Chains A and B, each alone.
Chain A
Amino acid sequence: MYCIQSAATISHQPSFASIGFSSRLSKDIGSLIKPDYKDFVPPALIRRMSEILRMSVACSNLVLKDAGIKQPDAIITGTGLGCLYDTEKFLNNAITIEGGLLPPTSFIQSTHNTIAGQISLVLGNHQYNMTHTQNSLSFEHALLDAMLMLDEDNGNILIGSADEVIDPLLPIAAYFKLNHFPLTSGASFYVISKNKNEKTLAVIEACHTSAFYSSLENEIKDFLSKTGEQQIDFILNDGCNKDVSRLIEALLPGKCIINYSEICGLYATNSAFALHLATDIICNKTKQVYDRTINSHQRALIINSLLPERAGFIMIKSNEA
């Protein structure tokens, strides 16, 4: 049992510090909705931080505060494309500035573990500090690491993921026809623990990833048989592939299916948004998400097959279940 003690998301929806946001979703995906970062990020550090770092540090500070924890026992992050803003900035400088000195800050902040590293720096935290980067499954792998850690030792783990969109990504996405949904940015962080208490928002039952499988149908069936036959009340699906949607409808007929990329847009770790959305729906017994009606709020399945041949599943249930 892996208990979600707190959750925070910055996205293109009004999700930050906004309990019950699942009932206040905007129909259109506008721009990133950010808090005043100065309230959440130390001013001395904020000036160098790109959006992905600001989002991540702000979310992690909020979840620690909400969980009532000063120091987490591990900091584990996932990111599909990492710190793109700084990566592009340094790459651009490296190609265009000839002979001159290059400003180092963007190089320093181009590494994927800048996110988890900055969080440890802000907190003065000396614990396990890890970064998973397996494109569309980065969040699930970070979550699996956190669950493994909870199996080894108890504790409170700060786990989350973030990705940011930059303009140079747009022509690439257009070329590869990744245009079902707008490209967006987002960060979601959680404190998870083995101890269920009054703070527990929801419980993660299981998480699984698989790549290069022979059949998605068998992968889903396997996951369902391992997690038990109890009722699934609603399903969050990335919604990028119509064949997958049809497969889910056939395997789990009559279930309410919510396409989460339709809500938060497209980024490599948007299944982390889906987990927060599911948590919020379960906690607040949200009845309506867009045109989908949810009648029961005990148990939900998140299916992420954003990229073909790669799938991630998360089963989450109410803390009453």
Chain B
Amino acid sequence: MDNLKEELKKHLITQLNLEDKTPADIMDEAPLFGDNGLGLDSIDALELIVLLDKHYHIKLTNPEEGKSVFYSINTMAEYIEKNKK
């Protein structure tokens, strides 16, 4: 699980061009969206859907579903564990 989280953070940085961030800057439980966390927005949410598809072959077709899945690195990792094929 920790490996998965670490890997996720790296993918996140590449997919979202978070040029000045390192995996250590992203807390497992911190919210990814909104001003209190990483400050991601709805375009990033779509990029995260692509990320899930590209790296984990998980298709999330309803962007609304993303809100809970993409809450934090923890929730993303849990979702991937559960749905991984």
| Residues on A facing B (Cβ under 8 Å) | 43-44, 46-48, 100-105, 108
Interface string of B34-50 (1 = CB under 8 A from A): 00000100010011011
Specify the chain A residue showing the minimal Cβ separation from B21: A47
Q: Are the C-beta atoms of A105 and B49 separated by less than 8 Å?
A: no
16 contacts between A and B (CB under 8 A): A46-B19, A47-B17, A47-B18, A47-B19, A47-B20, A48-B17, A100-B50, A100-B54, A101-B49, A101-B50, A101-B53, A101-B54, A103-B15, A104-B43, A104-B50, A105-B43
The one of A43, A46, A47 that contacts B16, using a Cβ cutoff of 8 Å: A47
Of residues A100, A102, A103, A104, which shows the largest number of chain B Cβ atoms within 10 Å of its Cβ?
Answer: A103
**Once the chains are docked, how many angstroms separate the CA of A44 from the CA of B20?**
11
| Closest Cβ–Cβ distance, residue A243 to chain B (whole Å) | 46
Q: Are the C-beta atoms of B47 and A105 separated by less than 8 Å?
A: yes
| Residues on B facing A (Cβ under 8 Å) | 15-20, 39, 43, 46-47, 49-50, 53-54, 59
CB within 8 Å for A44 and B54 given contacts A103-B15, A103-B47: no
**Once the chains are docked, how many angstroms separate the CA of A163 from the CA of B46?**
28
Across the interface, which residues of A come within 8 angstroms of B59, CB to CB?
101
Of residues B39, B49, B50, B53, which shows the largest number of chain A Cβ atoms within 10 Å of its Cβ?
Answer: B50
| Closest Cβ–Cβ distance, residue B9 to chain A (whole Å) | 15
Across the interface, which residues of A come within 8 angstroms of B54, CB to CB?
100-101
Across the interface, which residues of B come within 8 angstroms of A100, CB to CB?
50, 53-54
**Once the chains are docked, how many angstroms separate the CA of A102 from the CA of B20?**
24
Besides A44-B39, A47-B16, A101-B50, 17 other CB < 8 A contacts?
A: A43-B20, A46-B19, A47-B17, A47-B18, A47-B19, A48-B17, A100-B54, A101-B53, A101-B54, A102-B50, A103-B47, A103-B50, A104-B46, A104-B50, A105-B43, A105-B46, A108-B43
Of residues B39, B47, B59, which shows the largest number of chain A Cβ atoms within 10 Å of its Cβ?
Answer: B47
Main secondary structure of the interface of A (DSSP, over half): loop
Across the interface, which residues of A come within 8 angstroms of B16, CB to CB?
47
**Once the chains are docked, how many angstroms separate the CA of A105 from the CA of B51?**
13
Closest 7 CB pairs of A and B: A47-B17, A101-B53, A101-B50, A104-B46, A103-B50, A103-B47, A47-B19
Across the interface, which residues of A come within 8 angstroms of B17, CB to CB?
47-48
Across the interface, which residues of A come within 8 angstroms of B39, CB to CB?
44
Across the interface, which residues of A come within 8 angstroms of B49, CB to CB?
101
**Once the chains are docked, how many angstroms separate the CA of A108 from the CA of B43?**
9
**Once the chains are docked, how many angstroms separate the CA of A101 from the CA of B17?**
18
**Once the chains are docked, how many angstroms separate the CA of A48 from the CA of B15?**
10
| Closest Cβ–Cβ distance, residue A101 to chain B (whole Å) | 5
Across the interface, which residues of A come within 8 angstroms of B43, CB to CB?
48, 104-105, 108
Specify the chain A residue showing the minimal Cβ separation from B57: A100
| Closest Cβ–Cβ distance, residue A44 to chain B (whole Å) | 6
Across the interface, which residues of B come within 8 angstroms of A46, CB to CB?
19
Across the interface, which residues of A come within 8 angstroms of B47, CB to CB?
103-105
**Once the chains are docked, how many angstroms separate the CA of A245 from the CA of B15?**
49
**Once the chains are docked, how many angstroms separate the CA of A103 from the CA of B16?**
10
**Once the chains are docked, how many angstroms separate the CA of A46 from the CA of B16?**
11
Across the interface, which residues of B come within 8 angstroms of A105, CB to CB?
43, 46-47
**Once the chains are docked, how many angstroms separate the CA of A145 from the CA of B18?**
37
